[in-house]
Amino acid sequence: MDVTFIVAVAAALGIGALLTLLFMRGRGGGRNDAELAGRLAQMAESQAAVQAQLAERLQAQEKAVGKALEERLGDFAKRVGDRLQESATQSQTTLTDLRERLAVIDKAQKNITELSTQVVGLQDILANKQARGAFGEVQLRDIVEAILPPSAYAFQETLSNGKRADCLLRLPNPPGPIAIDSKFPLESYQALREARDEAAQTLARRAFAVDVRKHVQDIAGRYIVPGITAESALMFLPSEAVYAELHANFRDVVEVSYRARVWIVSPTTLMATLNTVRAVLKDVHMREQAGVIQAEVRKLLADIVRLDDRVGKLQKHFEMTSEDVRNIRISTDKVTKRGERIESLQIEGGAAEDDALTPPAQRLSID
């Protein structure tokens, strides 16, 4: 119930009672003031009791309202705190993810920068003919050293015609030593890749084909020496892209290299070729070792025959020794028997000396 309404009702009741008493006093005329005062005192007491009850109820309701308000405010504060904590956690997680992604992006940016620097450096290397040749030689050296034994190759080997090969594969005859050249015409290939219109592409294709043909003829003239090297040579392209371009769009140039016996190889095909060379060298080495083994077996058979002859001679010596030992045993037996006879003769002879009268004819009969 509304507290203000209760207070208003109580006040109205008090005022009504007061008006009733005044009206009764006016009609009675003979009632005294003492009775009025008593009534007023009772009314005051009841009014005070009502006000006390109203005050108690008001305090109780105020406490209940305060407690409810405090609980609601606490619940609201807890919800707000939880929401703020969740928001803070989500914000922290988001910031952590953002920092990690920024770190990854920064690392990728550094890698891209380093890669760009390396690409620029590679372009600078390939733009210079001498540097490009050194780049091809280094790649060729790495591939050859990784596959073949050191005795099967030589770098910067000077041939009998005074030309120096980038690499010389030392193969037995046939086929003989094979020279490898590591230079390649990159300028015309770059012009071909950079050509935008059809006319520029036609000119670039023509220039590229001419450069490759000239390079093939130079290799054939420098590194194929009859009687010294094999009847073929290798042109090493340290770029799979150039190799693919040649075999895809310049079949006539490749056929020219076939006729000139200059085989064009890329890093991949060179590895396959060197593996074949290694197998050939291994087979040759095995044949050489087989010849050595056969020679050693022949020597071993000769030693066995010689040993058998010596064993036969030793057996003859053993047989002769056995015969000598047998003869010696016979002689020793005879000597022993004669010794025994002599010993018996000495014993009998001593007895005869005691008998000085025995005639000689009788003593001889005893023997």
E strands present in the chain: 153-158, 164-169, 178-181, 233-236, 262-265
Angle formed by the axes of helices 267-354 and 240-249, nearest 10°: 110
Q: Which of 149, 174, 153 is nearest to 165 (CA)?
A: 153
Cis peptide before 174 (omega within 30 of 0): yes
Task: Provide the token pair at 151.
Answer: 């005795």
Angle between helices 186-194 and 240-249 (to 10 degrees): 70
Q: How many percent of the chain have pLDDT more than 70?
A: 79
Domain extent listing, the chain: 129-286
- Return phi, psi of residue 361, to 5°: -65, -35
pTM for the model: 0.47
Q: What is the pLDDT of residue 366?
A: 37
For residue 94, give both structure tokens: 């988001």
Highest mean pLDDT among 22-31, 155-164, 334-343 belongs to 155-164
Mean pLDDT throughout 347-362? 48
> Among the listed ranges 134-148, 276-290, 345-359, which one has the minimum average pLDDT value?
345-359
pLDDT band at 135 (very low <50, low <70, confident <90, very high): low
Whole-number pLDDT of residue 332: 85
